[in-house]
Amino acid sequence: MVISRRGTGTGLIDDYLVRRGVARKISLIVPNFLSAPWILANTDLILSLPARIAEKFVHLVPLKILPLPIDLPAYDLIMLWHPRQEKEPDHQWLRREILEICAETTV
């Protein structure tokens, strides 16, 4: 199972596998994390996701967290917004809040 807003089903793990001449079989692509815990709890699928999200999932449904068997490279998270929102006070406030929270968060 893969979570992909674009529906492509590719990402860091796939890039890692391709460099090693391996591919994975993706049985299901969902657009966000909302349905993932219940799908996982009722199927034999697996999902790779950030540990912080996985830790929330195990409080919702019976799941088991396992470490990845591979070392993935670090990656950057970015914020994007439409240029017309650049000077909107509410939007500026939200972006500052997000940056502040992320600055306080350790990896």
pLDDT (tens digit per residue) in 10-51: 777 888 888 889 888 889 999 888 999 999 999 999 998 888
Q: Does residue 66 form part of some domain?
A: no
Q: Based on the fold, state whether residues 53 and 6 are members of the same structural domain.
A: yes
**Is 39 domain-assigned?**
yes
- Residues 92 and 51 placed together within one structural domain of the fold: no
Is residue 62 assigned to a domain?
no
C-alpha to C-alpha distances, 48 to 13, 26, 61, 74, 96, nearest whole angstrom: 8, 12, 16, 15, 29
Domain of residue 101 covers 76-107
In a domain, 28, yes or no: yes
Q: How many domains does the chain have?
A: 2
Q: What percent of the chain has pLDDT over 70?
A: 98
Euclidean distance between CA atoms 23 and 62, whole angstroms: 28
Same domain, 80 and 53: no
Q: Model-level pTM? A: 0.67
Whole-number Å distance between alpha carbons of 19 and 37? 30
Calpha distance 48→54 (Å, rounded): 9
Work out the number of other CB atoms within 10 angstroms of the CB of residue 24.
Answer: 14
- Cβ–Cβ < 8 Å for 23, 17: yes
Domain match, 49 and 87 both: no
14 part of a folded domain: yes
Kindly state whether residues 13 and 50 are assigned to the same domain: yes
Whether 65 is in a domain gets the answer no
Q: What 8-state DSSP symbol labels residue 29?
A: E
Given a contact cutoff of 8 angstroms between Cβ atoms, the answer to whether 28 and 39 are in contact is: yes
